[in-house]
Structures are given as C-alpha cells and as structure tokens.
C-alpha cells in the first residue's frame, strides 16, 4: 500500500479535473514550482498510482444511449471466462466490462442508438452463451455523479452528467474521430505530437479540441488512478428507491462521503448504484450502515457486489 503525501493528493485532484493543464498552472494551485509538480507526477506514474490519461465523453452528444447489462452465469470454468472476455473485447458496442462477485458475475455497458439495436446485441449475447446465462438485468443509464475527488480532499468537486433527451447531436468527422481515439489513449499528448500523428497542423488540432469541448462531446480530460495502490477494494451497492425527490439529497450525501466515488442513476430494477472504496468488508459494512440510517425510509431493496476487475474500459466507440 502506497502512503501518499497531501500535496500529491492536490495534484491528483487537478489531474482528475483537467490533466491537460500545464505543470505551471497546477503548481500555482498547489503551491509548487513547475519542476516540483513534474517530478511528483513522474514518481506517481512510476509507482503505478497514475495509470494513464484519457477523456470523459458525453455519449448523448453523439446520439448514444448507454445500457448496463448485468449477467449471472452458471458453472463457469476458465475457458468460459476467456470466452466472455473475448466476447466483450471483440464487441465494439461494449465500452465497459467488469467482473464482479455477488448477484451478478459480469457488468457490461452497451452503447446503442435504439432499442432495436440493443435487442440485436442481447440476442447475440444469449445465443453465444445459451444455457450458461441464468439471469440478465438491463438498465438504462440516466445520470452520473462523479465524486471520486472526495477520496483525496474534504472539499470535493462533483462532476454531474445526465442523458440529454433533446441533445444537439454532433456528427464526428474523420479527423475528430481519429483525434478522440488518440486522446482516449493519451489525453496529455501535446497538440504538436497529435498533429504529427494525424498529419495536420497543430493549429487544426487546437481548433478541433475547442470544437469538441464547446460542443460538449469531451466533458473533461482526466487521469486514470489505480486505487488499489491505496490499499482499498471496490464495492457496488444496487439500490431500489421509490422516492422521486431523493436524487439531490443522495448526490450531496455521496459527494461528502470519503469512501463513495460514484453515484449513477438508472431506469430499471435498481435505479441507483453507488460505488465504494473500502479497505475491507468491515469498512464496507460501516458505509452501508451509514447509508441505510440516513435513507432507511426511501430504500426498498438493495444488493451488494464486490467489484473484481475491469475487462474493458474505453470512452466511446465509432
């Protein structure tokens, strides 16, 4: 387990919110020189705390509707596990896949533009794994409250995103698509380097970055953090809540709770999920108890999952 200094926490927060800002800009905010910031970032990269840099994309601006498909399998062996991983990696419409322990074994996020498109994907999933599938639960993504910075500070920011019903769809041109792919792999790449790769001018790259940000396609440039380096495990609470007025109270509660990294709203059997960082099951139970003591009149049903590992995580597909 890595013990991290408070000043590094501040740097991580800045990188989570905008990793394309310069070391000089970060230094002014955290009270360090440009060299001091650069050295600390380099050390955290070497230690594996910072795994890389990517982008958060607003799916609705590209005409997509995310659907989470939670699956319970029966009697899987190592070959079956490989088959599931291979299926997830090859399917371009699956942008996120994760293995879990509990009511569901796998959580898959499909990015589709219609119910008909989702129907084709679910049929393909069922026909591929047939009787191995014991249960499938489909939920429509509605909103997300990213409270990850609460892990590093007592005054966290909350990044909220919602599916926009009447969102103005931005049609990506070929250059924008290539640029997004490059940024997904390394969002701190300089405009000059990106220009060389894409065979355009640096000014063109800078203009495209402004266009994609202004259109709301790129929500933010962000760092990927390996939280296991801090000695914590990830858990997920699935909540069924029949209270239409709870969203603001619940999101504010999550924002101020250090162990809570994410709140997502869905349309489905479970209409909220809360992702939690905890050192062990005992700390996880404490978080659950606190949550239930606060919202006991609103929670109808719940399930808990231990999140094991990410199989796939990309910000979008073509």
Could you tell me the CATH number of the domain that includes residue 93? 3.30.70.3460
- Residues 294 and 301: their CA atoms lie apart, in Å, by 15
Q: Is 220 part of a structural domain of the chain? A: no
- Residues 268 and 274: their CA atoms lie apart, in Å, by 15
Q: Please determine, for residue 1, whether its predicted confidence score (pLDDT) is greater than 90.
A: no
Instruction: Name the residue range of residue 128's domain.
Output: 61-151+227-313
Q: Is 53 part of a structural domain of the chain? A: no
Q: Same domain for 208 and 277?
A: no
Phi, psi of 147 (to 5 degrees): -115, 25
Mean pLDDT throughout 36-46? Answer: 97
DSSP SS3 for 65: strand
Q: Same domain for 245 and 117?
A: yes
Instruction: State the pLDDT at residue 164.
Output: 73
Q: Is 162 part of a structural domain of the chain? A: no
Q: Please determine, for residue 158, whether its predicted confidence score (pLDDT) is greater than 70.
A: no
| Domains held by the chain: number | 3
Q: Is 11 part of a structural domain of the chain? A: yes
**CATH code of residue 187:** 1.10.10.10
Mean pLDDT throughout 260-268? Answer: 95
Q: Is 157 part of a structural domain of the chain? A: no
Q: Same domain for 29 and 141?
A: no
Look over the chain and give the mean of its residue pLDDT values, rounded to a whole number. 93
Q: Same domain for 142 and 246?
A: yes
Question: What's the pLDDT band for 316 if we cut at 50, 70, 90?
Answer: low
Q: Is 160 part of a structural domain of the chain? A: no
Q: Please determine, for residue 242, whether its predicted confidence score (pLDDT) is greater than 80.
A: yes
Q: Please determine, for residue 161, whether its predicted confidence score (pLDDT) is greater than 90.
A: no
DSSP SS3 for 212: helix
**Can you say whether the dihedral through the CA atoms of 244, 248, 249, 253 is positive or negative?**
positive
Q: Is 244 part of a structural domain of the chain? A: yes
Mean pLDDT throughout 194-214? Answer: 97
Question: What's the pLDDT band for 24 if we cut at 50, 70, 90?
Answer: very high
- Residues 58 and 317: their CA atoms lie apart, in Å, by 12
Q: Is 156 part of a structural domain of the chain? A: no
pTM (2 d.p.): 0.90
pLDDT in tens, 167-191: 789 999 999 999 999 999 999 999 9
Q: Same domain for 235 and 300?
A: yes
Q: Same domain for 94 and 186?
A: no
Q: Same domain for 19 and 145?
A: no
Q: Same domain for 147 and 231?
A: yes
- Residues 263 and 55: their CA atoms lie apart, in Å, by 19
Mean pLDDT throughout 239-255? Answer: 93
Question: What's the pLDDT band for 156 if we cut at 50, 70, 90?
Answer: low
Query: CA 52 from chain center: how many Å?
Result: 14
Q: Same domain for 177 and 28?
A: no
Q: Which residues contact 264 (CB under 8 A, 6 or more apart)?
A: 141, 143, 144, 145, 272, 273, 275
Q: Give the H or E element holding residue 38.
A: helix 34-47
Q: Same domain for 239 and 301?
A: yes
Tokens 């490989």 sit on residue: 82
Instruction: State the pLDDT at residue 317.
Output: 62
Instruction: State the pLDDT at residue 77.
Output: 87
Tokens 């069924």 sit on residue: 240
Instruction: State the pLDDT at residue 2.
Output: 63
pLDDT in tens, 84-97: 999 999 999 999 99
Q: Same domain for 96 and 231?
A: yes
Q: Of 191, 214, 237, which closes a domain?
A: 214
Q: Same domain for 248 and 207?
A: no
DSSP SS3 for 83: helix
């Amino acid at each position: 387990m890595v013990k991290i200094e408070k000043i590094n926490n501040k740097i991580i927060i800045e990188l989570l919110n905008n990793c394309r800002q310069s070391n000089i800009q970060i230094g002014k905010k955290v009270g360090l020189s440009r060299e001091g910031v650069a050295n600390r970032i380099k050390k955290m990269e070497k230690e594996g705390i910072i795994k890389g840099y990517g982008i958060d994309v607003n799916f609705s601006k590209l005409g997509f509707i995310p659907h989470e498909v939670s699956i319970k399998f029966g009697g899987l062996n190592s070959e079956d596990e490989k088959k599931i991983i291979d299926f997830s990696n090859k399917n371009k419409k699956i942008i996120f896949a994760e293995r879990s322990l509990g009511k569901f074994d796998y959580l898959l996020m499909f990015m589709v533009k219609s119910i008909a498109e989702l129907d084709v994907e679910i049929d393909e999933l069922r026909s591929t794994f047939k009787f191995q599938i014991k249960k499938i639960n489909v939920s429509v993504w509605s909103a997300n409250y990213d409270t990850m910075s609460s892990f590093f500070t007592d005054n966290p920011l909350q990044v909220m995103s919602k599916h926009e019903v009447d969102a103005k769809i931005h049609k990506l041109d070929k250059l924008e698509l290539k640029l997004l792919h490059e940024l997904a792999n390394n969002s701190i790449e300089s405009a000059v380097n990106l220009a060389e790769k894409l065979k355009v001018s640096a000014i063109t790259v800078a203009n495209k970055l402004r266009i994609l940000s202004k259109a709301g396609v790129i929500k933010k440039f962000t760092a990927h953090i390996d939280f296991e380096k801090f000695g914590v495990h990830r858990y997920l609470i699935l909540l069924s809540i029949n209270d239409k007025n709870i969203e603001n109270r619940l999101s504010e509660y999550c924002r101020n709770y250090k162990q809570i990294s994410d709140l997502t709203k869905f349309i489905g059997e479970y209409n909220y999920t809360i992702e939690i960082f905890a050192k062990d099951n005992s700390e996880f139970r404490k978080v659950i108890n606190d949550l239930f003591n606060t919202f006991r009149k609103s929670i109808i049903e719940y399930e808990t999952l231990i999140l094991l590992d990410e199989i796939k995580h990309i910000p979008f597909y073509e």
